[in-house]
Amino acid sequence: DFFKNIDPSKFEWMNKDEITPGGTTCGFLHARLGAIPRVNYPKVKVYVCVKFAEVQPAPRGNMAVHCGGPGSLSDCVYAMGSEMFLGPSAGTYNVISFDQRGMGRSEPTFVVDECMKETHDPELLTLQVNYLDEQSVRTASRIYKQRNLECWARKDFLLNSTARDGTTKSYHFLQYSGTRQLAEDIERVRRLVGDQKLSVYGISYGTTVMGTYATVFPNHVNLLVLDGSTCPDNDIVDWIDVLARSMNQRIDYFIASCEFGTQCGRKNMRSCVNKLNNLLQGNA
- Listed as ranges, residues in the chain with pLDDT below 70 are 117-128, 233-234, 280-284
pLDDT at 242: 84
- C-alpha dist (Å) from residue 106 to 12, 207, 216: 13, 21, 23
- Expressed in angstroms, the distance from the first to the final Cα of the chain is 56
Collapsing DSSP to helix, strand or coil, 202 comes out as strand
CA gyration radius, the chain: 23
If you write DSSP's letter for every residue of 260-281 in order, what string do you get? HSS--S-S-HHHHHHHHHHHHH
Helices within the chain (DSSP H only): 76-80, 83-86, 134-152, 179-192, 205-216, 236-260, 269-282
For 139, residues 6+ apart whose C-beta sits below 8 A from its C-beta are 129
DSSP-derived secondary structure letter, 178: S
> What pLDDT, on the 0 to 100 scale, is given for residue 267?
75
Contact at 8 Å (CB) between 97 and 27?
Answer: no
CA-based torsion, 135, 138, 110, 211: positive or negative: positive
At residue 201, the pLDDT reads 97
pTM: 0.82
